[in-house]
Structure 1
C-alpha cells in the first residue's frame, strides 16, 4: 500500500545463546500504515520487544526484510542507520536512558544538536513544556521522579518530529497515576505531530486505545487472537 510506513516480510531473528542459536522471531509479516497506532501484546518472552527493535533498526533481522519509509533497513550500514533513526524515528524505553550528568533541557536538545537543528534548545524547551516540565528544564535526572524522567524521555523522542514513534513498555516502571499520565501524553504527542505509533505493552487499557492490536506468541503472530 502507498500509505504503508513499516513493512516486514517473513522476518526471522535468531540470537546466539550459551547452548547455541535461539530462535526469537519466526516468519513475521506485518504492515503498519502511516498515522496508525499499533499495539504489540503477548506474554513475556513472546518477542514483542525484539520485533520493536527490528522496526527501529536496533536489531538486524536474520532473514526476511524490514522496510521503513521505503528504506530497506538491512541494507543500511551502522552510520546510515543511525542517521535514519535520528531523522525519522523516536524511541521510548521502559528504562528512561537519560544522561545523568545532563539537565532535562540538555537531554532533549543534544540529539537535536547532533542532527544539526539550529533551534535545538528552543525546540527542546517547547517539548518539555508540552509534557508539563516547563519548570524542570534545569533539573538533572536524579532530581526528578520516575514519572518526570519518563516525560523527559517522551519529549526527547518527540522533539525531532519523528515519522515513527516506537515505545517499549513506556508505563512499565511507573505507578498507576503516572502511567495514566504518560499514556495521555504519548497519544497526545502522536496527535500533535502525526507520527505513526507502535507500542509494546502489557497494559490492557493502553492497548485498547490503539487502532489495531497484534498479539505475539512464541515469536509468531497469533492469528487466532481477537
Structure 2
C-alpha cells in the first residue's frame, strides 16, 4: 500500500478580517502519497494557496486535522512547526522571497547553516550548479533576472533534501520560456530527491505533468482526478 505523507481530515480554515470572519476552506479531506505529484487548480479565490499553506503548517486549520509525515500539525506550536518545516519541507513561492542583502550562495546556504549542516556552503554550491547558476553565485537578487531568482529559490528549497516540496504558482511571475525551464527543474529536483510534490498552478501544461489533479471551487474539493498510468 502507498504510504501517505500528507493527510487532511475535514480541515477548515477561517480568518478574521476587517469585515469579520471569512470562511476560506470547508471540510477538506485529502491524502497525498509518498512520491506523488499533486496539482491544485481552480479559479482565483477558490482556496488553492490556502490549502497549500495548511499542508505546510503556514496556516493552522480552524477545524479538522492536518498530518504531515505522521505528525499532527494542528497540535504544534510555532517554534515546533518552524523546525518541522525546516527539516522535512521545501517551499517555493511565486514571489521568490530571497533575502536582498545576501548573494545567491548565501540565500541557499543560510537556512542550511541555521539547521546545523556543517557542509552548508558546499551543498549550496552543488544546488546552484544543479539549477545552472554556479556562475551567478556571488550576485545579489537585484542583479538576477526573475527566472534566475526563481532558480535560486528552487535551489534553496531543495538543498535540505526535503521529503515534501510545496510550490505556490512557481511560474506565475515568469515568461513562457523561463516558466518552462523552472517546471523542468522542479520536476527534476523532485526526481533527484524522491520528494512528494504539491503545487498550485493556473497552468494547464504544468497541471498535465502531475500524477493527480485536485480542482477546488469555493473552498471545497470539486474534483479529484488521478492520471491513468501509461501502458
Q: 1:22-101 residue pairs with structure 2 within 5 A? A: 22-101=22-101
CA 182–224 in structure 1, closer or farther in 2 if over 3 Å, else same = closer
Partner of 1:199: 199
- Counterparts of 2:217 and 2:78 in 1: how far apart (Å)? 30
Q: 1:33-182 residue pairs with structure 2 within 5 A? A: 33-182=33-182
* Alpha-carbon distance, 1:225 to partner: 7.3
- Counterparts of 1:200 and 1:168 in 2: how far apart (Å)? 5
Instruction: Provide the TM-score with structure 1 as the length reference.
Output: 0.98
Q: How many residue pairs were aligned?
A: 226
Q: What are structure 2's unaligned runs of at least 5 residues?
A: 227-231
- Asked if 1 retains the 8 angstrom alpha-carbon contact of 2:2 and 2:34, the reply is no
CA 102–57 in structure 1, closer or farther in 2 if over 3 Å, else same = same
- Counterparts of 2:134 and 2:7 in 1: how far apart (Å)? 37
Offset from partner CA, 1:34-67 (integer Å, 9 cap, x none): 0000000000000000000000000000000000
Offset from partner CA, 1:128-168 (integer Å, 9 cap, x none): 00000010110100110000000000000000000000000
* Alpha-carbon distance, 1:205 to partner: 0.2
SS in 1 for 2:22: strand
- Counterparts of 1:169 and 1:102 in 2: how far apart (Å)? 24
- Counterparts of 1:24 and 1:95 in 2: how far apart (Å)? 22
Q: What are structure 1's unaligned runs of at least 5 residues?
A: none
Instruction: Provide the TM-score with structure 2 as the length reference.
Output: 0.96
CA 90–224 in structure 1, closer or farther in 2 if over 3 Å, else same = closer
- Counterparts of 2:104 and 2:136 in 1: how far apart (Å)? 7
Which 4+ residue blocks in structure 1 deviate beyond 2 angstroms? 223-226
Partner of 2:187: 187
- Counterparts of 2:140 and 2:209 in 1: how far apart (Å)? 32
Alignment RMSD (CA, Å): 1.2
